[in-house]
Structures are given as C-alpha cells and as structure tokens.
Amino acid sequence: MLNLENNVGFVSTKYYNIEDKIKFESGVEFGPVTVAYETYGKLNEKGDNAILVIHALTGDAHAAGYRTENDKKPGWWDDLIGPSKAFDTDKYFVICSNILGGCSGTTGPSSINPETKKPYGIDFPVFTIEDTVKVIKKLLDYLNVKSLYSVAGGSMGGMQAIQFVISYPEFVKSAILIATTSRLSPQAIAFNAVGRNSIISDPAWNNGDYYDKPIKPDRGLSNARMIGHITYLCEEAMYNKFGRRLQNKNHYDFNFDIDFQVESYLQHQGQIFVDRFDANSYLYITKAVDYFDPADKYGSLTNAFKDTVAKFLIISFDSDWLFPSSQSKEIVSSLMNLGKDVSYCEIKSPCGHDAFLLEYEVQSKIIKSFLNEHINEVENEQSL
C-alpha cells in the first residue's frame, strides 16, 4: 500500500500546445511544440507563489506524487515536494515540465512531424538550454504565473535555472542551483561525446531513422547510459557499493562475461534505460548541455548575471567530480562581485553527483530555511 503521508497524492501529466513557432538560437523557427507538465499545490490570486523545478538530463515532468496505485516509486523529487516539505505545496504552486527535445511527452525527435507524418528523427533542429527556457516561459505564461517565487534545479536543471534568471531577470525572485555548473569542463564534454558516439556507431541507429524498424539502437543507448552513470557516482560510492566483489560467483571465469558486481550494475542500468528513453533525445539534450556557456555568450559570467534581481542559493557536494564544488564557487564569486544576494553550502556526501537526488534530508533543511527567509523578506517589503 502506498504511503501518501505528506505526499501530493495521485497526479496526472498535462499537456500544453504552443502553436506559434519559436525562434531558436540557431536561427531556426520551430513549432508547434507540445509541453508535458505537472503541477502541485495552487496558484494564488497574484500569480506569484509559483516555484519551477527543473529536471536533470534524463528526467521528466513527474517530480512528485504517484500516477497510479501500482507505481513502485513516486516522482523523482518527491522527498522535497509536498505538504510541509522543502517545496511546501500548502504554500507554493510547484511546476515541473519535460524538456524540449525529450521523450516523455514534450515534442522531440521521436514526435510526429506534422508535415511528413513521420517522426522528426534528426530533422529535429538542434537546440540550446536558452531554447528550452523559452519553451518553459511560454508554459508559465499559459498557467498565468506572473512571477516565479523561485526556480530550482539540479545538474542540467540547474543550468536551465541559471539561464532563466539571465533571460527573464525581473520574472524570477529567487534561484536554487544544486550540483550544477555554468559550463561543462572539457572532461564532461568528452564523456558526452563518447556517449553520443556509442549511439551513432550502433548500426541500428540508421542515421536517426529507426522508429519503425524492428531493431532499435538499444546497444548504443545502453552503452551511453553506462558511460554517463559512471560520472554520476564517485570512487568512494563505487567502492562502498561494490568494492571488487564478484557477481554470483567465487572465482573468475577467465572469459569476457560479467565477473564483477559493478559490471552487472552498469549493465542493468543500461538495460532499464532503453525502456524509457529515446536515443535521439539523448543526442540532442547532451549537445544542448555541451553548448551551455553564458560566460562566453555575455563576455564573462559576471556580465551574464548583471541584470538579475534574484536571491540565490547554491549547493554543491564535496564528492561530485562531474560538477565539482569549484564550479559552484565560480558562480558564487561572480554573483558576489556584483553584490548579489547569494548563499552557498557545500554538503559532505559519499554519493558523488547523484547526491542531489539522494541527500534529501540535509537539502530539505537548507532549502526550507532559504525559502522561508525569502518569503519573510517579501512580506516585510509588501508591508512597508
């Protein structure tokens, strides 16, 4: 039986159709776009109690609650979203949407092109993080959100949150950036490149045209996921979880079958991933992440943030080597140079980059304190 205590309960994914074409950074005008989204809580009359939470690379709009009684687990940030939780749905109207180019309801490469009546495949235009934020803003306008009380995200979600405060500085009152970066390191770009190459090298990828084929590029996508998953953990997490323990055996087989538990784990992660994700979406979204670099676009990171009015909370994890704390501190330094209101916390964790999805208890306390302090400041300003 499901535990619905302090839970948003049963939720359903909704869809909004953007009929107008959207001009992408590349210059391409694209549309229509369908956006899959979920909401929790109620929007107040002023339309200013909304919190936008943004998912990471392979996430979706289902951030909290259960879709059916048969669900094995709730949404991906359920421990942080709900009554009396960090993102308190008794106070806030929480919104989460699936990313542009995704495969969980929002228009992407697997969607049907209305002109050809076939999936877009690689005819889908390459997009950027800025383009994904344009789509989300149109959704917020449709929902009558007049301003964002906060925007929050981890990893790629944090990148979109950064872009949101840059693109719509007056619209966002606070931002919570978790385990994120303002630009990928060459090493992180390299991991994404190897993942994409795994997909493209799979003969079943067929130049992106595989949707009606009996064989899909599952091997390439699985390998890409295994490569990515290694970056989400850290040496300590890998050692604590697996060590050098063998998988269901007491000795080596002296062949190329699976010997170690860590091998079996990665293979399992790859296998379950192909059941829920699209190979082309993986190509497009990782490329968008690679391109993200506001410092390059605006001349410096300080210059990129100069018009923002948001109050910032930035959280990093000491074992995260994919987006290390030094990258969060670079964001903090840029904001401090501008005299912006910024708080920073590095959390000790053995979980690596995945900590933003696992370390709920400590994150909850920090976020709740930040939002409560922020709401008190807003109420005091309104009473003057």
Tell me the per-residue pLDDT of 132-144, one tens digit each, with 9 for 90 and over: 999 999 999 999 9
Structure tokens at 128: 């950027």
Do 170 and 214 fall into the same domain?
no
Domain boundary among 249, 264, 283: 283
Assess whether 59 and 87 both reside in one domain. Answer: yes
CB 343 within 8 A of CB 369: no
Q: Which amino acid is at 332?
A: V
Nearest to 141 by CA among 171, 99, 101: 171
Asked if 319 and 351 touch (Cβ cutoff 8 Å), the reply is yes
Residue 194 has pLDDT above 80, yes or no: yes
- Residues in a beta bridge with 263: none
User: Is pLDDT larger for residue 379 or for residue 139?
Assistant: 139
Residues 173 and 301 both lie in one domain: yes
For residue 3, the model assigns a pLDDT of 72
Strands 93-97 and 112-113: unpaired
Average pLDDT over residues 3-17: 91
Find residue 83's DSSP bridge partners.
none
Residue 8 lies in a domain: no
Does residue 300 sit in the same domain as residue 157?
A: yes
pLDDT of 4: 76
Residue 265 lies in a domain: yes
Q: What is the pTM of this model?
A: 0.95
Find, among 275, 254, 266, 293, the residue nearest to 166 by Cα: 293
CATH number at residue 310: 3.40.50.1820
Give yes or no: 20 in active site. no
Q: Calculate mean pLDDT across residues 6-17.
A: 95
60, 202, 278, 320: the catalytic one is 320
Q: How far apart are CA 208 and CA 213, in angstroms?
A: 11
Task: Determine how β-strand 148-154 pairs with β-strand 50-54.
Answer: parallel
Domain final residue pick, 239, 261, 283:
283
Q: Are residues 27 and 107 in the same domain?
A: yes
- 242 & 265 share domain: yes
> Which of the pair, 74 or 377, is modelled with greater confidence?
74
What mean pLDDT value characterizes the chain? 95
pLDDT at 373 over 90: no
State the residue range of the domain holding 226: 190-283
233 and 256 share a domain?
Answer: yes
Average of pLDDT values for 35-59? 98
Q: Please state which of the ranges 112-121, 248-257, 283-292, 345-354 shows the lowest mean pLDDT.
A: 248-257
Q: What's the number of domains the chain is made of?
A: 2
Q: Work out whether strand 81-82 and strand 22-23 pair parallel, antiparallel, or are unpaired.
A: unpaired
Average of per-residue pLDDT across 193-200 = 98
Percent above pLDDT 70 for the chain: 97
Same domain, 273 and 337: no
CA distances from 204 to 112, 217, 383 (A): 20, 5, 63
For position 2, what pLDDT does the model report?
75
Same domain, 173 and 209: no
Residue 235 CB contacts under 8 Å (≥ 6 apart), including other chains: none
64 belongs to a structural domain: yes
Q: Determine which one of 110, 111, 155, 174 is catalytic.
A: 155
User: Is the peptide bond prior to 74 cis by the omega test (within 30 degrees of 0)?
Assistant: no
Please state the rounded mean pLDDT for residues 214-222.
98
CA dihedral (243, 245, 247, 250) in degrees, to 10, reads 180
CATH number assigned to the domain comprising residue 235: 1.10.1740.110
Instruction: Identify the band that residue 382 occupies on the pLDDT scale cut at 50, 70 and 90.
Output: low
Give a yes or no: residue 320 inside a domain.
yes
Residue 152, domain member (yes or no): yes
pLDDT at residue number 381: 53
Residue 174 sits in the same domain as residue 314: yes
Judge whether 5 lies within some domain.
no
- Arithmetic mean of pLDDT, 50-56: 98
Whether residue 6 lies inside any domain: the answer is: no
Write down how long the chain is. Answer: 384
Asked if 220 and 198 touch (Cβ cutoff 8 Å), the reply is: yes
Catalytic residue among 88, 131, 328, 353: 353
- Are 32 and 154 contained in the same domain? yes
Examine the pLDDT at 261 and tell me if it is beyond 60: yes
Q: Is 353 a catalytic site residue?
A: yes
In whole angstroms, what is the distance from residue 119 CA to residue 122 CA? Answer: 9
- Residue 288 included in any domain: no
Contact 124, 108 (CB under 8 A): yes
Tell whether 141 and 167 lie within a shared domain: yes
Show which of 227, 253, 283 is a domain's final residue. 283
Cα angle for residues 297, 287, 284 (degrees, 5° grid): 130
What is the model's pLDDT at position 319? 97
Q: Say whether 155 is catalytic.
A: yes
